[in-house]
Structure 1
Amino acid sequence: MGNLKNAAATVHRKRRKRRGGSCCGINGANTYSADQMTYSPKIELVSTLNSSALLKALASGGIHNLVANDVSAFPRVVFSEIQDADADFADNKVYSFEVRYQISIFTQASTRGKETAIAAEIDKLMREIGYSRYNSQDLYETDTKVFHKARRYKKTYYQEGK
């Protein structure tokens, strides 16, 4: 097992060297230095979602972490961290971690027409910062009559100098 991890680390180093220092991401977007906090992905996510004028216009109910400020405002986007865990090791040291987020779009019958455009803009933004979508579900909450599109994204960050 140790040889597999060492081989993965070697492949990772060679890939980074071929790409001129960037690693498995877009212009090095997936790399972090040892002194950065693991919360950097959340800062990156919030900054990216809030930077889109289109997303802000479409999601008039706002963009929220975990809980919406006003649960009667639609459509709205709510994101939550699902996982932030060490992913790869070499020589008994962590050299990458994987982060997963769920981004939910909440609409009502009167605002459901915006759902596809919101989902497309979120997909575009997430891909720009190196995330891939690995799951999506359309749900309906019968008690509140709210449509809920839940999409899940993941990204692996690699530590510089490893």
Structure 2
Amino acid sequence: MKTDIKTEVRAALLNNAALVSLLGGQRVYQLVAPKADEYPRITFFEVTNYDAAFADDVPIMADVIVQIDVWSKVSTSAISGEVNKTMKAQGWSRTSAADLYEDDTQVYHKALRYRRQYEED
């Protein structure tokens, strides 16, 4: 598969001007943010990426799930809404969403999972 999922997801999120504005800058990171106290922010990672369809015993499709986490000291609703719009525009389907609260850091956390299939090269 030629598609670099992580680069594609990050670029799509950063191309949403309303989202970048809500974040206060380009605060979209793979796995971890460089500053532990930077809020609001988004982190994301690839949950699964596996062969999903075959032709003549050769994989022709990959099934991918990514998780996008929104971290904020206040409500995550506006940011999550922009993430959702962006991901759906890129052909991703949301498979789950969970509102969480991190007691130790007093941070609101929204975990969003999306699924998409890609053609293998």
Normalization by structure 1: what TM-score?
0.69
Q: Give the aligned partner of residue 12 of structure 1.
A: none
**Higher Rg:** 1
AA aligned to 2:61 is S
Asked if 1:150 is matched to 2:84, the reply is: no
- Whether 1:137 aligns to 2:110 is no
What secondary structure, in the 3-state scheme, does the structure 1 residue paired with 2:85 have?
A: helix
Whichever residue aligns with residue 75 of structure 1, its letter is: P
Question: What percentage of residue pairs aligned between the two structures are identical?
Answer: 37
CA contact (8 A) 2:93 2:116 kept: yes
**What is the aligned-residue RMSD (CA, Å)?**
1.5
Are the aligned partners of 2:6 and 2:30 in contact in 1 as well (CA < 8 Å)?
no
1:83 deviation in Å?
Answer: 1.1
SS of residue in 2 equivalent to 1:46: helix
Per-residue deviation, 1:43: 2.0
Counterpart amino acid of residue 142 in structure 1? D
- 1:127 is paired with a residue whose SS is helix
1:66 aligns with 2:27: no
Offset, 1:50: 1.1
Q: Secondary structure at the match of 1:73?
A: coil
Structure with greater strand percent: 2
Q: Distance in 2 between matches of 1:101 and 1:159?
A: 18
1:86 to 23, 41, 51: 51
Please state whether the residue corresponding to 1:138 is helix, strand or coil. Answer: strand
Residue by residue over 1:106-128, the C-alpha shift from the partner in whole angstroms, topping out at 9 and shown as x without a partner, is: 111xx32xx21111111111011
Counterpart residue number, 1:47: 11
Match of 2:63 among 98, 101, 104: 98
In terms of fraction of residues, the more helix-rich structure is 1
Aligned 8 A contact 2:100 2:110 in 1: yes
1:37 maps to: 2
Show structure 2 runs of 5+ residues with no match. none
TM score, norm. by length of structure 2: 0.91
Q: Which runs of 5+ in 1 are unaligned?
A: 1-35
